[in-house]
Structure 1
Amino acid sequence: MQRMGSMTKYLAFLSGVLFSLMIIFFIYSYILKSQLLEQGENILADLVNTTEQGYSVLASLNNKGFSNCSNENLLAMRKSQFESNDIKDIGFLNNDLLTCTTGIGLLAKPIKETSPNLILDGHKFWFNHKLITFDRTLQGIVIRKDNYNIVASFQGILYEHRKFNEYELLAVKGDEITHLFGKPDLYQQKAKMGKPYFSTGLLSHSLELCGPKGIICVVIQQKNFSEFQVGPVLLILMFISLVSGVATLHAYQWMYSYIYSTKRRIKLGLSFKGIKPHYQPIIELKTGKVMGCELLARFEDHIGPLYPDQFISVVSELDMSWLMTEHLILQAIDDFKEIKVIDKPFYLSINVFPKDINNGNILKGVELLKNITPNLQICFEVTEDEELHYSKVGDTLEKLSKSHIKISIDDFGTGYSNLSQLKLLDIDTLKVDKSFIDEVETGSIRSTLIPNIVSIAEKLEATIIAEGIENRLQVDELLKMDIELGQGWYYAKALPLNEFKEYLLSNSDYKFTDSIGS
């Protein structure tokens, strides 16, 4: 399995850090937007309450029927102002002339009323109006009804909302926008009547919200995380980011290991036929001619190839051995369906797992092969790396024997077989393992055992095939031991179909009726 590079690990860690920061920012943004919306709605609600309170005060005073700035009138005006938190001044008008206010009393010179900014619900509104009271300038909203007006101060309305760094209150009438209070130029005209507009940035968030009738709008802007102390916030963010980065790295390593694991690759390979047959020629040692071949499984996917010793055991472990064998049998039948018979059928050896004989799956292979062309002689090659339960597979072995499918023992001498057990199998071929062939030309101790294997083969009336032949000297020594067949890299490695056909046509009398090599 491939290993993650240091750059990949670094990117995985960095991705975890960035992802955690994004999640934190998303959660913070969601909470902050909720807070901004709540504050904006509260400000507008306060303005509505102040306006309704002003309406009530104006109605109450007008109902008293005063016609001039009498002491009784001023007393009633001052009492109404005292009872209201948001009304900062009340004035009395006679013929559109302001004659007295609660702040100054009777004016020495009446003040002519100007044109209002807005008339709503029978009330006149002046925005950003300034009133001189005791030599101090009072700025606010003036509302008039009949003989009275009131002044509502922004300072009183917005006092509870000063936790925000920046805000702006505006009056909007068509295209005319009047700044009322706060920091100017925050309003971007994005909000629609009754629908808030949020602006989200890395440095700050802002809200634009207009009242139900779209006349008064509020903009609130807050710098991100300004409500927290910088030091603790940075420490918390660093800790969370570090933990998230490490967790992401471990998760990525686990996913990487899973994706590149041999088991997963094998499962996908068997599902999508990623295991392909290759064919290694079996040679008549005296003539050098091909008389058959062994089917060998090869695996390669988009990640790369796996060697047989990497995936064969995994296939068995996954209990997918017969699935692979069946796929290879069907592919081999198709590959050699056009081969022509000469004096004898072409010998095709197919490896099977002992477990598929033990559990009876091998009989499915008999069924697959019952109608194949007589041009082929099929041999099931049983590897000795897994024990065969001879005493329990009698019926299976008998059916194999009657099916005209030959049986070969692969890597003979290295596994579990003994002579008495082999007699039960009706063995046709013994394949001498490469470990016996190595250094046969030098007379190594292990190679001296080959005559014993030849003797066993004679008792079983079985043919011997020598595996792993790598040079001419080995061929000569094997011929001296009366071994007639062999295979190995000296002749050819396992080849894909097209290359094998070319080799077969050049080194045998076999032909194909299909277009390839005809």
Structure 2
Amino acid sequence: MRQRKHSWTNSIKNFFVSWLICSFIFGLLFTFIYIQHKESEKSSVQSMAERVLVDLQSQLDNVDEFLRQSDHIDAKCNDDTIRQMRQFVFKNPAVSEIGIVSPRGNLICNSFGMMSSPMYLSEPIKKRGLRYHGPIISEFLQVPAFVLARTRHDGYEVNALLPTDWINDTLHLRKYKSLDFVAVVDTETGVPVFLQGKYSLPLDHKLFPLSRSTEVEARFDDQTSKYLYIKPFNNVPRLAVVVSKEARLLGIPDPLWLLVLCLLYLASWVGLVLLLNHYDKRLLSSRTLLLDAINRKELFNVYQPLVNAQSQKIEGVEVLIRWMHPLEGELGPAYFIPEAERDGTILELSLYQIDLALRDLKAVVANNRDFKVSFNVNGYLLMCPSYIEKLCQAKGIFHNLTIELTERDVLSEAKIKLILQQLVDMGIEIAIDDFGTGYSGLQYLQSFPIDLLKIDQSFVASIGLDNLQSPVLNAVIEMAEKLNKKLIAEGVETQQQASYLYERGVLVHQGWYYYKALKVNELKRAL
């Protein structure tokens, strides 16, 4: 029942953890897509404005070129002048009429012919360059028209009328369905000269007079948020194309992309939930197996003797644990200790190991109070009050009790230093296992209450070999002597290794040269 409740609790936890992870990741992804799509849409709006400019600019350039050349035509409107004007109108469908205005402001003639009586319009502006008027109603065609004009060097003005129907067709929103409006505006006042759609401007941005391309995203006077882009004409700076699109439409991806993103989100959520549930089940399964093995007494201790090289007697043992698996046979610690450390079962295993050692070695210690008993401990166990309590219980039986830690475990937690000092005060010896393979710093050897160093077997194996580890062994021995630390050599497998260590003052050895790890009955016979 407890396991089922734990499983449901973990499933609910995994459901919400997966939701948070997927929401965070896909939130970032959607934000990235939103920003990218928004920038892409802004570029698209600008491209539409450029397209309008290209469509209009090509016609305006043609008209401007003709007006520039008009300096050479006869202002008296002879037959040749009228013929040239008619030819230009015929070749340019966008132009409906060409007119010539005298310096006094009278329309003398147009492409239809000589005026029967001059019509006063307005005196030509003395300033050179292309300019526009309009829209106006053409006197002859009676249609709205847009006027482009240039003043000649002799004061006459030549102008061209472009029907607004042609311009409106160029600007028609059916070509630019996604836009709110397309307009050609006066860059001094912002007043639209031609317009398709509902024209509006930003509330808090002064855009006009305008001299260069501008983009704005803001609240508009029609109470909607829009993105607006303005670009002046090159040849008629007083005119600019303005396009606008609702801001809310800029960042919204295509509905198909949104659907794909939602499906990916749901699939990732479900997949992550299943993955976490599988991990929990695997963790729970391994924990259950190990706890069941403890209950069925499938775990047992073996004892690696610590031999005095001088007397050749066993002075103590390192306690190791094994698992007699019902299917796979005897398993070494490498098969289950890492899993036990991951799922937390290492505490139950270690408590059980001490209980087994107390039972197995009680008679041995009773005959030899100085018999050393050593347990492998990690930083996690030192932080567990129940394990410290069990060590205190073991200390009552094992008078010469040692715990072995790796260098990583010593430095992993600041609190460990205080705990180790408390254990030393109780008479428990502290040893560093596999010394030389971890941090190998003098600082923790001086600041932590460490009594014993166990030389790693890789250094012992280098004895008699010419490799990089050979000088390290001698350095470790010299350092231990200077710091007044006891030494034990691990992995002694040959007579040469044993003799070399003995000659350098390392008297306690551990390895197959003397004994393999022994079961309790074998240990008692060896003793």
Query: Normalized against structure 2, the TM-score is what?
Result: 0.53
Secondary structure of the residue aligned to 1:80 is: helix
Structure 1 residues 295 and 190: CA distance shift in structure 2, 3 A: farther
| CA-to-aligned-CA distance 1:243-286 (integer Å, 9 cap, x gap) | 377579989999xx9xxxx99x99xxxxxxx9799799999x99
Change (3 A) 1:104 1:149: same
SS at match of 1:453: helix
Amino acid at match of 1:396: Q
Aligned residues: 371
SS at 2:96 equivalent: strand
Range with bigger deviation, 233-242 or 189-198? 189-198
Structure 1 residues not aligned, in runs of 5+: 267-273, 306-319, 338-347, 383-387, 410-415, 437-448, 458-518
Partner of 2:166: 156
The Cα shift of 1:96 comes to 0.8
Listed one character per residue, the Cα deviations across residues 86-109 of structure 1 (whole Å, up to 9, x for unaligned) are 223323434312355557985788
The 1:16/1:171 distance shift into structure 2, 3 A limit, reads same
What secondary structure does 2:440 align onto? Answer: helix
Matches of 1:222 and 1:133 in 2, distance apart?
37
Look up the equivalent residue of 2:472 and give its one-letter code.
K
- CA drift at 1:209: 1.8
2:98 alignment counterpart: 90
Instruction: Confirm whether residue 367 of structure 1 aligns to residue 475 of structure 2.
Output: yes
1:7 corresponds in structure 2 to 16
Q: In structure 2, what is the equivalent of residue 422 of structure 1?
A: 514
Q: 1:296 maps to which residue? A: 405
Deviation of 1:167 (Å): 1.8
Given the alignment, which residue of 350, 353, 358 partners 2:461?
358
Tell me which amino acid in the other structure corresponds to 1:404: G
For 1:53, the equivalent position in structure 2 comes to 62
**In the aligned structure 2, how far is the partner of 1:381 from the partner of 1:92?**
113
- Report matched runs for 1:189-268 at 5 Å: 193-197=211-215, 199=217, 205-212=227-234, 214-223=237-246, 233-240=254-261, 242-243=263-264
| Separation of aligned partners in 1, 2:65 and 2:446 | 99
Alpha-carbon distance, 1:203 to partner: 7.9
Instruction: For residues 303-327 of structure 1, give each alpha carbon's deviation from its aligned partner in whole angstroms, at most 9, with x where no partner exists.
Output: x99xxxxxxxxxxxxxx95544563
Please identify which structure carries the higher helix content: 2
| 8 Å CA contact retained: 1:131, 1:138 | yes
What CA distance in whole angstroms lies between the structure 1 residues aligned with 2:148 and 2:207?
A: 27
| Alignment correspondent of 2:523 | 453
Deviation at 1:169, TM superposition (A): 1.7
- Could you tell me whether the CA contact under 8 Å between 1:196 and 1:210 is conserved in 2? no
Deviation at 1:349, TM superposition (A): 3.9
Q: Is the 8 A contact 2:182 2:243 kept in 1?
A: yes
1:118-150 deviation per Cα after TM superposition (whole angstroms, max 9, x unaligned): 9442x5x34333124567441423414325321
- Structure 2 residue 444 is the aligned partner of structure 1 residue 331: yes
Task: Give percent identity, aligned residues only.
Answer: 9
Contact 1:208 1:220 in 2 (8 A): yes
**In the alignment, is residue 128 of structure 1 matched against residue 237 of structure 2?**
no
2:185 is the alignment partner of 1:170: yes
Equivalent residue number for residue 311 of structure 1: none
CA contact 2:82–2:113 (8 Å) conserved in 1: no
Q: In 2 relative to 1, CA 10–240 (structure 1 residues): closer, same or farther, beyond 3 Å?
A: same
**Matched-pair contact (CA < 8 Å) for 1:130–1:139:** yes
The correspondence for 1:180, drawn from 177, 183, 193, is: 193
Q: 2:495 corresponds to which residue?
A: 394
Q: Deviations over 1:183-240 (max 9, x none)?
A: 433475569745553649998644222345743222222357979xx9x931233214
- Change in Cα spacing, 1:292 to 1:366, as seen in structure 2 (3 Å) is farther
Give the counterpart letter for 1:150 in structure 2. A
Residues 167 and 186 of structure 1 are in contact (CA less than 8 Å); yes or no, is this contact kept in structure 2?
Answer: no
- 1:18 aligns to 2:27 (yes or no): yes
TM-score for both structures, normalised by structure 1:
0.53
SS in 1 for 2:505: coil
Superposed CA deviations along residues 291-344 of structure 1, whole A, max 9, x for unmatched, are 674443436859x99xxxxxxxxxxxxxx955445638873455459xxxxxxx
Task: State whether structure 2 residue 504 is matched by structure 1 residue 403.
Answer: yes
SS of 1:87's equivalent in the other structure is coil
**SS of match in other structure, 2:93:** coil
Q: Distance in 2 between matches of 1:61 and 1:370?
A: 106
User: Amino acid of the residue matched to residue 121 of structure 2?
Assistant: K
- Give the aligned residue type for 1:181: F
Tell me what 2:311 maps to. none
Measured in 2, the distance between the counterparts of 1:99 and 1:375 equals 116
> Which of the numbers 44, 52, 65 marks the counterpart of 2:53?
44
